[in-house]
Chains A and B, each alone.
Chain A
Amino acid sequence: MQTIRQVLAIAHTEFRFAFRRGSVVAVTAIIGLLVNAGILVGPFASLSAWVANSIMTPEKIQKLASFGLTVAEYAKFLREALSDMFVATTMLAWFGIFLALLFLPIATSSTIPADRQYGVSDLLRSTPITGFDYLAGKILGVLAMVLLIGALMLGLFYAITEITLFSTLHYGLSYGTDLFFMELTLLDGLPILIWGTTVGVLIGIFFRTRRAAIFPGFLAGVASLVGWAFTFRAPRHGIFGGMTDLAHYYLVQNYHSSAIELECRLGGQDANLLNIAGAPHVGFGQLALMYLVVIAALVILVTLARLWFQWKENF
């Protein structure tokens, strides 16, 4: 119990420092805004077309009837198809989240060197905490700030989207699309943010000043980005241009809506917005393996850092 409180105390202090120093907040917020803007720009640019499509004329009603559709069914289709468009936009815009792998290590690499630079390192090490407690507290503190900003960015996305859609079209995103973005954030965004933050904090253990840790942080970021892209690369197929990873691919592959079903019914599989006909299948097993690799790699890195502390600093 005492150890947990000590770890939380370190995390709490680091959380405040992360806020005051600003770099972690800035990097996370910029990446979040970039992803949000990337996803929103396409659908929002075509909002006027959706408004026009929703205006019913006798000719249009007659045409719908020839497809066996009522006006109510068409209205539902429009709403869902717009939501699907948001999902389709992530094919390119979600790439922005991978920048967190590159830039978060730079922003978080100064976490431990800061203690040495301020001269509090010896003082902290003279208290009854272990090197592991110290590392855990530092990582948790910075991570808490990253996740808070990440959550705010997701909230901002929902707020902007819903307010804009309701004010122009009088409806919001479908439930399935809301869920898709939540899952995308948790299943893909979260591991990326955890990895970027942790690697940055850990790379900092080798350096005595914040400035000295920046370039190695950048190198760790490049290695993370390349490593992630190589290890968790999604199959290249159709709209999946190889710009995403397994988790994103898995979620898009398993995304369903009644609008897509209707498009398939009327025009065949190839006609729908998220055409993944014939695409290689990514199963849950591959996704689980991805998380297992991430967790194992993080455990190995933290263990190595702990051993380094023990060997080099008797901590």
Chain B
Amino acid sequence: MITVSQLTKTYGNKVQALRGVDLEIGTGMFGLVGPNGAGKTTLMRILAGLLRPTSGNVSVLGNDVTTSRGKLAVKSVLGYLPQELGLYPDLTAIEFLEYVAVLKGITDKIERKKQVDETIELVGLSGDARRKMRTFSGGMKRRVGIAQALLRKPQLLIVDEPTSGLDPEERVRLRNLLAEMSVRCMVILSTHIIEDVSQSCNDLAVINLGKVLFRGSPGDLIAQARGRVWNLITSGERPDSDLTVVSTMQIQDGAQYRVIGTPSEAHKAVSVEPTLEDSYIWLMQQSRT
């Protein structure tokens, strides 16, 4: 269980990344969604004990991460995949994972080898594990990143933008892997890609400008946007400027638009069932008004 209350973070340059965040996160896979610069990474780094909050309380699995003891306790059960993942180019995947395994406290050599082999197998890198990582593609590097996060069977897995830069096949594979992991540990997935959350999370929060805008299930968010998403057809001209266009499709007699907002009757718009992405855009639109 993770409890965050009245959490704020102000950086040295006076940028307020978090402004009084209250959040409770339980078991399973939790999605943290928001645009770039919303404060997701700051929140993830605080939960992982990498960043000290300016004020507020953070309890992760019963440990206060603002204390040295609590921080170490959290890190000993944590698997973390940072947003900007880098790897030592001169090491092979096996060498790197062995190194991280020792740092995570797997000091028994046999156990370490077993876990390293298992995670390499799990992320599908068996054939490349002995290659220098400088030769790896972006997707392969992400898989090494996931593999290191899974070492020592973490109770809490924090993955920050894990699918950015991956091709669709890699993205699906990673999503499925995280969903499998969420059966045995708490997974927090931070992303600005709504599809990742809609496919795998049963619980989510939307964050923007350092504040939580929504907290609940994807179904709850979709329910909030119901009646605000429309399909309309025009002879080519764009819909009213107060409508947010989600998608445009050219058709024989003009253009079909999927819009969010309240269209005028002249448009003869048809209400449609919102997707999670529609709902997210509606929520963002609401937060700006």
Q: Are A130 and B72 in contact (CB under 8 A)?
A: yes
Q: Identify whether the interface residues of A are mostly helix, strand, loop, or mixed.
A: helix
Residues of B contacting A20 in the complex (Cβ-Cβ under 8 angstroms): 90
A167 proximal to B (CB < 8 A): no
Q: How far is the CB of B118 from chain A (nearest CB, A)?
A: 18
Given A127-B100, A127-B103, A128-B104, A314:B82 Cβ within 8 A: no
A314 — nearest CB in chain B belongs to which residue?
B52
Residues of A within 8 A of B68 (CB): 130
Contact with B along A125-157 (1 / 0, CB 8 A): 111111000000000000000000000000000
A128/B90 contact (C-beta < 8 A), A5-B107, A6-B105 known: no
A120 to B84, CA, bound (A): 9
Q: Does A118 contact B (CB under 8 A)?
A: yes
Quote the shortest CB–CB distance from A20 to chain B (angstroms).
5
> Which B residues touch A45, using CB under 8 A?
none
User: Is B272 positioned at the interface, with any CB of A under 8 Å from its CB?
Assistant: no
Check A9–B103 contact: CB distance below 8 A: yes
B169 CB to nearest chain A CB (Å): 24
Which B residues are CB-close (under 8 A) to A5? 102, 107
- Cβ–Cβ contact B84 & A6, under 8 A: no
For chain A, the bracket of interface size reads: 20 to 34
Looking at the complex, which one of B76, B87, B99 makes contact with A128 (CB distance below 8 Å)?
B76
> Nearest-CB distance from A25 to chain B (Å)?
15
- Contacts A6-B105, A123-B80, A314-B51 hold; do A118 and B100 have CB atoms under 8 A apart? no
Tell yes or no: A232 within 8 A of B by CB: no
Q: Which residues of A contact B23 (CB under 8 A)?
A: none
CB B258 to nearest CB in A, in angstroms, measures 38
Q: B residues bordering A, Cβ < 8 Å?
A: 45, 48-52, 68, 71-72, 75-76, 78, 80, 82, 84-91, 99-100, 102-105, 107, 145, 148
* Known A20-B90, A313-B50; further 4 A-B contacts with Cβ < 8 A: A117-B86, A125-B50, A127-B104, A128-B103
What is the interface of chain A, defined by CB distance below 8 A to chain B?
Answer: 1-2, 5-6, 9-10, 13, 16-17, 20, 117-120, 122-130, 313-315
